[in-house]
Amino acid sequence: MNLLDIITINCIKAPLLATDKKAVIHELVDVLVGAGKVNEPDTLKDAVWTREMTRTTGIGHGLAIPHGKCVGMPGLAMAIGKPAKPMDFEAIDGQPVKLVVLLASPPDRTSDHIQALARISRLMTMNEFRERVYAATTAEAIYDLLKSQEKPA
């Protein structure tokens, strides 16, 4: 799974305007809408929020990966948002979140969805990479860091 296949620079927002969990999810879905990657934004917002309510996607080390599957998604899509300041996402380690990666897919792309989640998680376990992403202040800087790790196909 190469994350550059599912994200473009216009799917990254730094800083986010939203300051709470639900608003961040909505803002990132809207980013995907603006990039032409979502046909039914309200359905996706509901799917991601419903998933978030079952168990937090704040996985620790400053990262949250809210995700959802819904009909009307033309394909796998990813948006990255950097909160203006670290925010509460009810993360499992109790620490504030510094980066939010939203992943969305159609219901029939379960394998790709899981592979993308795993790739994001693997990248973010690399301490130096994670700290550089957290220090980045622009969408361009975040995208360049991704490009440094993901070689184009």
For 34-63, write each residue's pLDDT tens digit: 999 999 999 999 999 999 999 999 999 999
> Which residues pair with residue 99 across a beta bridge?
63
Domain carrying residue 12: 3-149
One-letter amino acid identity for 117? L
* pLDDT surpassing 90 at residue 153: no
Which CATH number does the domain housing residue 116 bear? Answer: 3.40.930.10
Identify whether the C-beta of residue 151 lies closer than 8 Å to the C-beta of residue 5: no
The DSSP call for residue 52 is H
**What's the mean per-residue pLDDT of the chain?**
94
Q: What is the mean pLDDT of residues 73-78?
A: 94
Q: What is the mean pLDDT of residues 68-94?
A: 95
pTM of the complete model: 0.95
Amino acid 61: pLDDT? 94
- How many structural domains are present in the chain? 1
Amino acid 91: pLDDT? 95
Amino acid 152: pLDDT? 61
